[in-house]
Amino acid sequence: MFSTYLEKDNTANIFLTPAEQIVFCRMNKAIYPVPNKWGEKGATTFELGHVPRHIVQEALLSAYKEVADSKGRKSKRSSEK
């Protein structure tokens, strides 16, 4: 999983790396860490009505790539056993 959507608030929580989270949070005040332990690990809230679409798309792509890359690393390690 790399993102969740909360319809009632029109927000997305996107699972970034902590370094990416810092970059995205500096881009717009409507982007901020989830206020819990997940946020400390990179989970980031995007208020979709206030963040330009291209920024949300870039964050989603980055989060997706991180998940895909980590699954590829796990698969490779499994095949080496």
Query: Could you report the per-residue pLDDT of 13-64, keeping only the tens digit for each?
Result: 999 999 999 999 999 999 999 999 999 999 999 999 999 999 999 999 999 9
Range of the domain at 11: 3-79
Write b or e for each residue in 21-53: b if 16 or more Cβ atoms lie within 10 A of its Cβ, otherwise e. Answer: beebbeeeebbebbeeeebeebbbbbbeeebee
Residue 69 pLDDT class (50, 70, 90 cuts): confident
* Amino acid 48: pLDDT: 98
* Amino acid 75: pLDDT: 54
d(CA 49, CA 53): 9
pLDDT over 60 (residue 76)? no
* Comparison of pLDDT for 73 and 3, the residue scoring more: 3
- Contact, 44 vs 32, CB < 8 A? yes
pLDDT over 90 (residue 73)? no
Q: Is 61 left (phi over 0), alpha (psi -120 to 50) or beta?
A: alpha
List the beta bridge partners of residue 73: none
Number of domains comprising the chain: 1
